[in-house]
Amino acid sequence: MKRAVLFFLCFFPLLLVGQPRTSSKKALKLFNEARDYFRQQENDKALMKLSVAMREDPGFVDVYLLQSDIYREMDSLRLQISSLEKVMELGVDGFPQAGYVLADAYFRAGEYEKARQTCLDFLHRYGESAFARKAKELLTQSEFAVTLIDNPRPFDPENMGDAINSEFDEYWPSLTLDGETFIFTRLLPADNGGAGQLARLQEDFYESKQIDGRWQPAHPIHTLNTPGNEGAQSVSANGGIIFFTACNQPDGFGRCDIYFTRRVGENWTKPRNAGSPVNSAAWESQPSFTGNGEYLYFVSSREGGHGGMDLWRCRLKGFDNHGQPLWGESENLGENVNTPGDENSPFIHPDGVTLYFASNKWPGLGGFDLFYTRNSIDSGWHKPVNLGYPINTNKDERGMIVDASGTTAYFSSDRPDSKGLDIFRFELYEEAVPTPVSYVRGQVVDHRTQLPLCATVELIDLAQGSLVAAMNSCLDGGDFLVSLPLGKEYAMNVSSPGYLFHSENFSLKELRKAYDPVFLTIPLMPVETGSVAALRNVFFETGSFALLEQSKAELERLIAFLDQNPAITVEIGGHTDNVGGVAYNYELSEMRAKSVWQYLVEAGIPENRLSYRGYGMSQPVEPNDTEEGRSRNRRTEFKILKVGEE
């Protein structure tokens, strides 16, 4: 009730401390009684008194002002507007703020043109009043809203059907990178309630699998759900980790914290607090995990922000020996994203640069609107773009995600054809589509035993030479999965202690479908005499032995390996395909091997640990009858000749 009284005092102080204007003593008595009931939070009694007072004096403007404020407190927006319109009809001498409050009510009701015109009228009459600044802000918002309404975006939401939705509320959708697993939150009764009592509600996780293009009936994740609430989850790209929100936990840093759990077979581990600096003594919630596993985005009310709730992120550096996340410092997304208001429900697309979120302060249609922004290396986060009408309305919109292809968005909404809050999907319009991504899925194994290995996997953008993703396969039985934007070429490097590192390169330029992934099995050779590894990311000019700049990262990795293993000697071997004569290919392979040898020597590797040899076309690893096979045969290798004491 304190909020309502403060609102009333702020806008209509004369009603509480001055003499209301009426010639009817009975109307005045009823008004004073209504005012007392309002202060005591007895709104129904107050409204009854006001109704009688109106009959006694239909022109008693104070009655309608008090009535409008009671309706605001009761969230009865249409009735509040009706009362304020009566105030304007009777005249607002002494109460100029009423015009601004009516404009604000029109805006909240989605009547943006009326809000705009009422703001203009207010500023024309009271441009020097204390509320002029607020009215100018509301005018700008109203004009922006009118523009959005006049330029609607394509929007045709489709209910996801009975496999996902039920008679209860469903929300917070999340999707694995391959688009095959859908996890969401359902609000349902935890008990039937006692006699005359409402049932207690709780949030649980539900999961559905897509088989042959059809979502299967969702089932509760029994090993993860508890008698408490679990919700606002984000699932990792491979479906192996869920970050989620839990409140009032005994191991919590604040009232609400972010927790995580890992999938082990068909079950989930006991949830654990994600730790500091993700969590703090403030409120943290609504995590979003990047497709490459590098960053966790989340909402926090901690100090150092720009408003109430801000968007933050932390870099995941790995996990310690006990399986606890190791985080970098928390990073506020800055004033290009956060405002003096509230931001929430972040979703970072698997492209790693497109962020969708909700805000109640950036220009919109009222309440929380959905926005998108993109991050660039040069300029950081771009100014957010409102997703537009009718995706956004005068109600609250939040909790939207977008699939890997970038074309389909999912969100929850209470619409005429739903059973309360249901999850819907719709085709995202072109300007709001992120960079489509595919993914690389693989397994690292021992070359001889074919058993899974714990290894570090790095993905590099060949054109930029920049690290795109780094992960390890330790916690997933040697498996890894990472999202990569389409239209580029990538290098992959895999390493594990006691093994030769492995390198690959592949192109996603020709793939047209986001769900057309690359599958790789990576066999690692142990560090022992005779082991051979191809340097797939060493490149030469066509028909030449001149090293290309893109080779530098691979060669530096070889230098680091030799420095870490000072007791081994290696041979650099050059190989070609069968295009051209035998002598030509032998000489070309010899000179290319020598170029690598020379790079290593100039980097400080002793010559007595190195040799080089050209093999020409004599040792193909694939048939030479396809371009892919010939490409695999054109390679540089290093072979361990000796493993001895220093």
pLDDT for position 191: 65
Element (H, E) at 634: none
Q: Is the peptide bond before 452 cis (omega within 30 degrees of 0)?
A: no
Say which amino acid occupies 602.
E
In whole angstroms, give the CA distance from residue 145 to residue 390.
Answer: 11
Query: In which region does residue 417 sit, left (phi positive, over 0), alpha (psi from -120 to 50) or beta (all else)?
Result: alpha
Domain residue limits, the chain: 2-150, 169-191+199-338+415-432, 436-526, 529-646
Local confidence band at 645 (pLDDT 50, 70, 90 cut-offs)? low
For residue 341, give every residue at least 6 positions away whose Cβ sits within 8 Å of its Cβ, in sequence order, or none: 307, 308, 359, 360, 361, 362
142-165 pLDDT, tens digit each: 999 999 999 999 999 999 999 999
In whole angstroms, give the CA distance from residue 298 to residue 344.
Answer: 8
Q: Is the pLDDT of residue 2 over 70?
A: no
Local confidence band at 543 (pLDDT 50, 70, 90 cut-offs)? confident
Chain CA centroid to CA 143, Å? 30
**In 255-414, where do the E strands start and end?**
256-264, 267-268, 272-273, 284-289, 295-300, 310-319, 325-327, 331-332, 343-348, 354-359, 369-376, 380-381, 385-386, 401-402, 408-413
Burial 406-417 (b: 16+ CB within 10 A, else e): bbbbbbbbeeee
Taking residues 341-348, what's their average pLDDT?
A: 96
Q: What is the topology classification, in CATH, of domain 436-526? A: Immunoglobulin-like (2.60.40)
Taking residues 510-536, what's their average pLDDT?
A: 83
In whole angstroms, give the CA distance from residue 440 to residue 485.
Answer: 11
Taking residues 404-416, what's their average pLDDT?
A: 88
Of 249, 273, 275, the closest CA to residue 260 belongs to 273
Residue with tokens 């100029």: 96
Could you tell me whether strands 635-643 and 568-575 are parallel, antiparallel, or unpaired per DSSP bridges?
antiparallel
Task: Kindly report the number of other CB atoms within 10 A of residue 99's CB atom.
Answer: 24
Local confidence band at 339 (pLDDT 50, 70, 90 cut-offs)? very high
Backbone angles phi, psi at 571, to 5 degrees: -110, 135
Local confidence band at 16 (pLDDT 50, 70, 90 cut-offs)? very low
**In 447-547, where do the E strands start and end?**
456-461, 466-472, 479-485, 489-495, 502-507, 518-524, 532-534
Look up residue 300 and give its DSSP letter: E
Residue with tokens 């022992």: 528
Taking residues 460-477, what's their average pLDDT?
A: 79
Q: Is the pLDDT of residue 512 over 90?
A: no
- Using CB atoms within 10 Å of the CB of residue 567, give its burial: 0 to 12 exposed, 13 to 18 middle, 19+ buried: exposed
Q: Write down the CATH number for the domain with range 2-150.
A: 1.25.40.10
* CA angle, residues 527, 525, 641, in degrees to nearest 5: 45
Backbone angles phi, psi at 604, to 5 degrees: 105, 5
Taking residues 190-219, what's their average pLDDT?
A: 80
pLDDT for position 513: 60
Query: In which region does residue 17 sit, left (phi positive, over 0), alpha (psi from -120 to 50) or beta (all else)?
Result: alpha
pLDDT for position 243: 97
251-308 pLDDT, tens digit each: 999 889 999 999 888 889 999 999 999 999 999 999 999 988 889 999 999 999 998 9
Q: Is the pLDDT of residue 193 over 80?
A: no
Taking residues 608-634, what's their average pLDDT?
A: 94
Q: Is the dihedral of CA 279, 280, 284, 288 positive or negative?
A: negative
In whole angstroms, give the CA distance from residue 203 to residue 26.
Answer: 52
3-class state of residue 393 by DSSP? coil
CATH superfamily of 529-646: OmpA-like domain (3.30.1330.60)
Local confidence band at 20 (pLDDT 50, 70, 90 cut-offs)? low
pLDDT for position 15: 47
In whole angstroms, give the CA distance from residue 444 to residue 480.
Answer: 8
In whole angstroms, give the CA distance from residue 565 to residue 416.
Answer: 68
Taking residues 119-130, what's their average pLDDT?
A: 90
Taking residues 28-43, what's their average pLDDT?
A: 95
53-88 pLDDT, tens digit each: 999 999 999 999 999 999 999 999 999 999 999 999
If you average pLDDT over every residue of the chain, what do you get? 90
* CA angle, residues 342, 346, 347, in degrees to nearest 5: 165
Local confidence band at 637 (pLDDT 50, 70, 90 cut-offs)? very high
Local confidence band at 199 (pLDDT 50, 70, 90 cut-offs)? low
Say which amino acid occupies 200.
R
Are the C-beta atoms of residues 142 and 115 closer than 8 Å to each other? yes
450-460 pLDDT, tens digit each: 999 989 898 88
pTM of the model: 0.84
pLDDT for position 196: 47
Q: Is the pLDDT of residue 480 over 90?
A: no
Backbone angles phi, psi at 90, to 5 degrees: -80, -25
In whole angstroms, give the CA distance from residue 241 to residue 262.
Answer: 5
Local confidence band at 588 (pLDDT 50, 70, 90 cut-offs)? very high
pLDDT for position 34: 95
Of 51, 34, 52, the closest CA to residue 43 belongs to 34
Q: Is the peptide bond before 20 cis (omega within 30 degrees of 0)?
A: no
Question: What is the share, in percent, of the chain residues with pLDDT greater than 70?
Answer: 93
Local confidence band at 515 (pLDDT 50, 70, 90 cut-offs)? low
pLDDT for position 190: 74
Rounded to 10 degrees, the C-alpha dihedral 35/39/42/48 comes to: 10
Encoded tokens for 644: 């001895």
371-389 pLDDT, tens digit each: 999 998 888 999 999 999 9
CATH classification for the domain delimited by 169-191+199-338+415-432, as one of 3.40.50.1980, 3.30.420.40, 2.120.10.10, 2.60.120.260:
2.120.10.10
Q: Is the pLDDT of residue 505 over 90?
A: no
Taking residues 33-46, what's their average pLDDT?
A: 95
Q: Is the pLDDT of residue 112 over 90?
A: yes
Are the C-beta atoms of residues 411 and 356 closer than 8 Å to each other? no
Q: What is the DSSP string of 207-249?
A: EEEEETTEEPPPEE-TTT--SS--EEEEE-TTS-EEEEEEES-
Please give the span between the terminal C-alpha atoms of the chain, in angstroms, as a whole number.
80
In whole angstroms, give the CA distance from residue 481 to residue 473.
Answer: 9
Q: Is the pLDDT of residue 30 over 50?
A: yes
